[in-house]
Amino acid sequence: MLITDGQAFEKLFREHYLLLCNYAGKYIIDSQVREDIVQVFFISIWEKKHLNVTQETFLPYAYRSIKNSCINYYKSEIIKDDFITTLSEEWKDQLNEEEDFIYQKEVQQALQKLPEKCRKVFLLKCVTGLRYKEISEISNISVNTVKYHLGEAFRIMREELKDLKWILFLIHLQL
């Protein structure tokens, strides 16, 4: 199937748009950002007139492209001043969705005691579910540094929440 065929392109779009938006949801919480990423992907497909796509090659290509776009989105967002605040709010919203979670305030206070780099890595892991390698790419640090920051974040969170040890179990479940 050639991309220059308008009907074939429209069929690909209709069959895979929602699927790709849901896939982007593995990385991006904001539905508008997810949709923008998928729309930009389809626009780039349409503009690459020389690209040959078959039913077998479209989805693997699309998944890789969407994943890379999500990582690039975080790379561009991470330099913004309010990025950590936004991630923190998204994590807070996730915790609020847990039924009967009454220790929201304690967890937020413990989170604020993390050094900035630890907090950034911790939130990237907890909120987005990115892998160490992906966090490494976004943050421009090594995978070992990501592991160090996560370890340090858990050590501090453990210390700050020592009276509420089961909360760390819940946080670990999210990871």
Residues 121 and 154 in one domain: yes
Residues 95 and 115 in one domain: yes
Helix axes 165-174, 104-112, angle to 10 degrees: 80
In the numeric block, which tokens belong to residue 68? 């890379």
**Last residue of a domain, which of 45, 62, 77?**
77
For residue 131, is it within any domain? yes
Segments forming the whole domain that contains residue 38: 6-77
For residue 1, is it within any domain? no
Is 85 exposed, middle or buried (CB count within 10 Å of its CB: 0-12, 13-18, 19+)?
exposed
Residue 51 φ/ψ, nearest 5 degrees: -80, 125
Provide mean pLDDT across the span 8-26.
90
Residues 45 and 113 in one domain: no
- Domain count across the chain: 2
Residues 14 and 47 in one domain: yes
Rounded mean pLDDT of the chain?
A: 81
Instruction: Say if residue 24's pLDDT is above 90.
Output: yes
Residues 104 and 56 in one domain: no
Distance CA 104, CA 96 (A): 7
Q: Could you read off the pLDDT of 128-167 as tens digits, one per residue? A: 888 899 999 888 899 999 999 999 998 888 888 777 655 5
C-beta of residue 118 within 8 angstroms of C-beta of residue 110 = no
Instruction: Say if residue 32's pLDDT is above 70.
Output: yes
pTM metric for this prediction = 0.66
